[in-house]
Structures are given as C-alpha cells and as structure tokens.
Structure 1
Amino acid sequence: LYINGELMGQMGNPDPDNYQEQIQNRVFTFEGKGTAEIVIAVTDKHSVSSGIQYVPVLASPFKVNIIRGLSLMIAVVFMAFTFFVLIFSVYMYMRTKKVEFGLFALLCICVLGYGSYPILHSFVAVKVQPCYGMEALFYYLMFAGVMLVQQKILGGEERIPEILAGVAAAAGVMVFVAEMLCSRAQSATGLYLISKLTEILKWAAAGYLLFRSVKEIKQKYSNVLLVGIVVYAASLAADRIWRLYEPIIGGWFMEIGAAVLVASVGLTLWMELANAYRFQLTYGEYSRQMEQKLQIQKQNYEELTEKMDEISRMRHDMRHHLRTIMSYTQQGKYQEMMEYLQEYASVITEEEKLICYCRNMAVDAVIHFYAGELRKKGIPFECDMMLPQNIGISDTDLCKIYGNLLENAVDAVKDLLTENKPYVKMLTKVKNRKLLIEISNPYSNEIQRREKVFYSTKHEGFGIGTASVAEVVQRMGGYVVFNTEESIFKVNIFLPVKTVQ
C-alpha cells in the first residue's frame, strides 16, 4: 500500500522476483489533506480469481474499526450458532441414527468451512492456498448437502437430487484441484470454462431447490424449509446477478443465505424430532393402557370364573342341604331346622363378597381393578357411585376418564406412609342432566404444573393421563377442574348427559 509514493504497509511481497504470498484483513492508518495518491500493488499467482477480492474501505479509523467490528461480530455469531447446531446434530445422529441428522451435520461442517474466512483473515496471516481452495470445496459441497437434506426431509423416490448432489460435489473437487494447480499451469481458457460451468451449476442448484420446495409446500413443515431454501437460492442468484455490487456494509449474500438455511433446516429437523418424541410418548402410553386393560379383563375374568366355580359347588352342595332340611321337616325338628338355615345363611353371606360398584360393566371392571390394587396396600377406598347404565357416553370415554384418574390416584397414595393417612375417595352422580365426577387423594411428591398442563412424575414431559382426560371432557362439551390444596389432589369433572337409563 503506497500513499503519495510512500510505502505504508504490506502483507507478503508482491515483487515477482521475490514473491511471497500472504493475505489478511488489515487496517492501515495515514494522515493527509488535499489530493492523495493511493496505489495498491498486488500479485497473486495461486488463485483462479486473482487480484483484489473486496473493495478497500476508506474512512476515519473509528468508522473503519466500527465497520470491521460489525463484520467480525456477525461472522462470530454466525459461526457460533452453526457450531452449536452442529454439536446438536451430531448428538441427535448418535442417539437416533437418522440419516437426515448425519447429513445435516455434514452440511453444518461445510457451512463452517466456507464461512470461517472472515474470522481467519482478521486474526491470522495465511497463504492463498490451500485456504481459497478449501473455501471453494466447502462452497460446492454445501450444494450437495442442501439437496440431500431436502430430499430426506421431503421424501420421495426421485434420483435427481442425488445426481445433482454428485455433480455439485464433483464440481467442488474440480475447482479445488484447479485452485491448487493453477500456479503451475495457468490457462485463461480453462479458467473461464470452469467459471462458466460453475455458474451454470449455481443456477441449476438454486432453481431445483426452489422448485422442489414450492412443489412440496403442502407437505408438513415444508413451509419452514421453504423459507430457508428461498433465501439460500436467492443468495446464489444475488451472487451471480450482483457481481459488481461491492458494498462496505452488507453484501454477504452466501453467508446470510447459509445462516438462514441452517436455521430453517435445523428448525425443521427439531420439529420432526419433537413430533417423533410426542408420538413415542403417546404410543408408549397407549401400549401401557392396552396392557392395563388386558390386566383388568384378566382379573375380571378370574373373578367371574371363581364365582362360577363357587356357584357350581353351591349347586352341588344344595342337594345335601335340601336332604338335611327335609329330614328335619319329616321328624318335626323345626327348631333344629331353623338353626341349620341360619348357619347356612351366614356362610353364604361371608362367601358372597363381590361388590358391584355400578351398573356399567366396563366402568365397574375398571373400578374393581384399582380397588383391588388399593386393597393389596391396605389403603381405604371410598366409592359412592350413582352411574346409570346408559347416559349417552361411550364406555371407551368413560373408561379413559375413570382409568386415568384412578391410576394417578393409586400411584400418588401407594407409597405414602401410614401416618399420612392415605386414601382415595370417588363420587359419581347425575344431577340436572350433568354427570358429576369427583376424585380426591393425598399426595407427597411435588406436582409440577404450567397453567393447565401437568408434568409427569413417571417420565420426562407432560402427563399424558391428565391430558387424555382433558381431551375427552373438552370434546364432549364439559369441563374439568384440577385442584391442589393442602397436599390434597382433587379432580372435578362436569359432563352433559343426553339420556339416562
């Protein structure tokens, strides 16, 4: 850098006889007034695009440092964001083994490799090669990564994305080789040919990415991906159309496009992951409820089997009892017969302990199951059921309500100490054409709640049982109230009743 013929500073040596390549983003200060002659002497033997790559910024030292600091800050934030997204992608790939997370991690590596030059050139003086060659390689590998990630997210059996990705990767390798070898065999015709081919590739990549995203816009989450693809494709177009645009502030088309792309793809994969996690929780809860229903049915079947066996024994023994009674009658021993009948009646009363909680057999089976669980733990269960056999609510919905609420109540009291006086109370009645359900029980664990959502104590995430009850009640036009006061958890449900039989 010469000011009025005086050397003000230099990086490397541009003298062809003593050539030494070295590049860095530097600030040089000088004082002057009136007319000043500025000469920048540059020699670059090792780059396809030789010469000055960015317009010099002329201003006061304060303003120059502000502009330089802003550029550096934006680059650091962008790189830090991409790096953390990369760590998250690698972690999720190791956990889920999903190909899209692996491809997205590779895409983040390419973005980091391409976008690192502002930070690198601000702090370190480097040679042209292999820095620019690696930058070009990562630049074209980004095309391949974007196409493959888009294909994995949107799905489909087309081979076009894989073909274009292969072409983009091959172009990156070709440009890298050309960058590394151009100092030995510089050919203007060859370099112009590479430039034209890569320009066609950029337009083809931008067009295909945009066309595919718009075509699949109705697919789930593709609108989020569409934003990133559109911005990235626009950055490719801007890089080709506005080649003469040399801004002092702005103009980082590819960097901005890559940042938005990483954010949109990362958000899309995060939404996919959240949806898969939600499905896993729901499926796990559904499997657990199905297993519980089978246990309820098994227990109910065993109780019915026992009762049937008991009835068979009673029918078998009835002949002997009748003969005894007939013998007492024939002999006129009426007092002995009365004593015998009283003893027989007491035996029958002791044996017949099966309780019928309500006339709805499905709900009755559910209550029997959880009442048995409480009985095993020696925990009192108070039940006041006035549930008609037909109230216009399906047995499935009623079993969801009673099953989930009783399960939560049993889980809350089963580990309570005796001095805490564990119990479960349940009240059900129909009043003013409304079904009223109330279940209360003490608890000891801390209940985590955010507005109307309860967090589960069995697994990470929200409680599916309470959410399932709330969904059923809301769908049927009723409402549910959850109260936690003085270590007592109470649920009140109000459901409209169409018919009562």
Structure 2
Amino acid sequence: MYKNGRSVIISTILLNTLFNVLINQEIYLSKDIHDLKAFLPFINLAVLLLSGLVVFSIKSLEENTKKIVELNLLKTHLSQVENLINTLQVQKHEHSRHIQTLQAMLHLDEADKAIEYIEGIAENYRHSEEIVYVGHPALTALLNGKRKVAEAMKIDFAFSVKCDIADINIPPWDLCSILGNLLDNAFDAVLQANIDRRVAIEIKHEDLNYVMYVYNTGPKIPEAVRQRLFIAGFTTKKSEARGYGLYLVKKLVDRYGGRIDVVSEERTTFIVYLPDRGRKVDDKNSSPKNSHCHGGAVKG
C-alpha cells in the first residue's frame, strides 16, 4: 500500500510537469498567442485539478503511513500481551508441578527430601523476577516486554510506578502507544552511545496529573531538532514509516488534554502530563511534595 501510494504521487507529479511543459511548448511555438487565450480557463482548470490530485495523493500517503505505524504498534502490544500470558501459563504449570511434588514427598513422610527440594527451588526458581506487576495489565505487559528487549540490546533499563494507575482515564492501547513510542525512541537514542546505555521510566501522581518521565542517556538533542520532534514525518533516521512515533505521542497526549515537555542536557527526559480523570492539566510546575504515590524502582 505504501509503495503503491508513492507510485501514484510520483506519477501525478510527472503528469503535472508534463502537462506544464506541453503548454509552455505550445505557447513558444504558437505564431499567434491570442489564439490560446480562449483555452486559458481550461488550461488553468486542468493545472488546478492536477495540483489538487498531487496534494490529495500526498495526504493519502501520509494517512496510510500513520495507519501502518499504528498497526505495527498494535501488533507489538498484542505480542507483548501474548508473551505475558505465555509466561504466566508457564509459571502456573511450574507452580502446580512443585506443589504436587512436595505434596507427594510429605505424604510419603520424606520431610528431609521435601526441605532439600524447597531449598533447591529457592535457589534456582526465579518466579518473582519473571514478571513485574505495576497495577495495570496492559502496562505490565509493555514494561516487561521492553525489559526483555533492553536486555537483548544490552541497555540498562529500569522502571518505577509510584502511584495507582489502575483507574487512569486512558484506554490501555493509547497508554501503551504513548509510553511504547517514547521507550522505542529512548532505546534508539542510547544505542548511539558506546557506553552508559541507560533508559528509565518513572510514573507519579503530581498536582492532579499522572506524570510520566522517560529518561535516556543518549546524545543531547539540539534546540532546532527539539522544536521539530513532534512534526509528522520528521526523523533523523533514513527509514520508511519513520518520523511518526513522536507525532502519534503528541497527538494522543493532546487528545486527552495533556502536554509533553522535552528536557535535554546531560540526559534527555520526555515528560508527559496526563490529567487525572479528565481534569485539565495544571500549567504550574508540578511538585513531588503533592504526590500520593508509592512503590519502588525495578531494574531490568
């Protein structure tokens, strides 16, 4: 679809250019230019129609590209949920097997062997480290999935949810799109650094807002680039369908009455403010002293 749309745009532009060349050639070869005046309204109409077709084709391509990005995000989210379910099923199976084994040992009065078995489980069975729950099913899947991605990329990833987000007034898919895009952007940034690849996310409740901090130790973002980060299609990477992740983040944040700030000094921080239960964002600086959050950091 993307390639077909691009072909339509190129064909339309070439057709428009060819039409203009033919008109100019006709004017140049015409002995009496006044004869062409009768056709000027039709020529102008044709030029307008072709130009309009070019604009329409470009807008259609932009919409198709955004749909491709959103579809890929949805696929990623569903994959993360599927991985979470599979992990939970494995944990359930392992837990049931251990319980049955211990039950059998105790039934046979093999208390010493049961104790040895439990000690072996305590040493080798890392149940609590497999899935870290954050009080929100979709976000649990997202953060644990990103933790695995970070491990594969050799990125030091940590997350901390310090407030109750179970009742956050945003659909799970949109919340995961916001944070998923910001984390992907952070991962891309730190991969440009040879050392000190660190990404972290912290979620708090401050001044009637859910505030989400996404930190990374990638290169500093120049002011000129910062001003264009959320423009559709803007990217520093040479890749199709790039340049829409942060644009979608801004679009979703705006949809829910929030705002997003970017601070880039020794480290880069994207700060998302989302109003609690539809209240408008307080434009005053949020203060941690008003937070009713709780919880601790989890390192990937």
CA change 1:113–1:278 in 2 (3 A) is same
CA change 1:429–1:101 in 2 (3 A) is same
How many residues align? The count is: 268
Deviations 1:401-426 (A, max 9, x none): 101111101111234213xx111011
Deviations 1:197-234 (A, max 9, x none): xxxxxxxxxxxxxxxxxxxxxxxxxxxxxxxxxxxxxx
Q: What is the CA distance between 1:397 and its match in structure 2?
A: 2.8
CA change 1:446–1:363 in 2 (3 A) is same
> What amino acid sits opposite 2:103 in the alignment?
L
> What amino acid sits opposite 1:389 in the alignment?
A
CA change 1:458–1:276 in 2 (3 A) is farther
Q: What is the CA distance between 1:138 and its match in structure 2?
A: 4.6
- Distance in 2 (alpha carbons) for counterparts of 1:139 and 1:298: 63
CA change 1:309–1:395 in 2 (3 A) is closer
Contact 2:8 2:57 in 1 (8 A): no
Structure 2: gaps of 5 or more residues: 1-5, 279-291, 293-300
Query: How high is the TM-score relative to the length of structure 2?
Result: 0.73
CA change 1:436–1:314 in 2 (3 A) is closer
Aligned residue for 2:253?
473
- Distance in 2 (alpha carbons) for counterparts of 1:432 and 1:445: 29
Contact 1:381 1:425 in 2 (8 A): yes
SS of corresponding position for 1:383 = strand
Q: Does 1:292 align with 2:292?
A: no
Structure 1: gaps of 5 or more residues: 1-91, 117-129, 154-268
Summarize the alignment of residues 3-402 of structure 1 with structure 2, pairs less than 5 Å apart.
Answer: 96-98=10-12, 102=15, 105-107=18-20, 109-111=22-24, 113-114=26-27, 132-133=31-32, 135=33, 138-150=36-48, 152=49, 269=51, 273=54, 276-316=57-97, 318-328=99-109, 337-348=114-125, 350-386=126-162, 387-402=164-179
> What amino acid sits opposite 2:69 in the alignment?
R
- Distance in 2 (alpha carbons) for counterparts of 1:470 and 1:279: 21
Contact 1:424 1:439 in 2 (8 A): yes
SS of corresponding position for 1:430 = strand
Aligned residue for 1:497?
276
SS of corresponding position for 1:97 = helix
- Distance in 2 (alpha carbons) for counterparts of 1:94 and 1:389: 46
Deviations 1:242-281 (A, max 9, x none): xxxxxxxxxxxxxxxxxxxxxxxxxxx2x76456435424
SS of corresponding position for 1:321 = helix
Aligned residue for 2:193?
416
SS of corresponding position for 1:328 = coil
Which structure is higher in RCO with an 8 Å CA cutoff and minimum separation 6? Answer: 2
SS of corresponding position for 1:449 = helix
CA change 1:478–1:307 in 2 (3 A) is closer
- Distance in 2 (alpha carbons) for counterparts of 1:493 and 1:273: 36
What is the root-mean-square deviation of aligned Cα atoms in Å? 3.5
SS of corresponding position for 1:473 = helix
> What amino acid sits opposite 1:379 in the alignment?
I
Q: What is the CA distance between 1:304 and its match in structure 2?
A: 2.0
Aligned residue for 2:288?
none
Q: What is the CA distance between 1:107 and its match in structure 2?
A: 4.2
Range 433-442 or range 452-461, more displaced: 452-461
Q: 2:235 aligns with which of 456, 476, 482?
A: 456
Deviations 1:20-63 (A, max 9, x none): xxxxxxxxxxxxxxxxxxxxxxxxxxxxxxxxxxxxxxxxxxxx
Deviations 1:423-472 (A, max 9, x none): 10111011332111111112238657357322312248994222222222
> What amino acid sits opposite 1:291 in the alignment?
N
CA change 1:131–1:474 in 2 (3 A) is closer
> What amino acid sits opposite 2:209 in the alignment?
K
Deviations 1:294-343 (A, max 9, x none): 133224313422432443354345333212123236xxxx5554344333
Deviations 1:146-175 (A, max 9, x none): 34445x45xxxxxxxxxxxxxxxxxxxxxx
Q: 2:201 aligns with which of 420, 426, 429?
A: 426
- Distance in 1 (alpha carbons) for counterparts of 2:167 and 2:207: 16
Percentage of identical aligned residues: 16
SS of corresponding position for 1:453 = coil
Q: What is the CA distance between 1:358 and its match in structure 2?
A: 1.6
Contact 1:424 1:441 in 2 (8 A): yes
SS of corresponding position for 2:167 = coil
Aligned residue for 2:289?
none
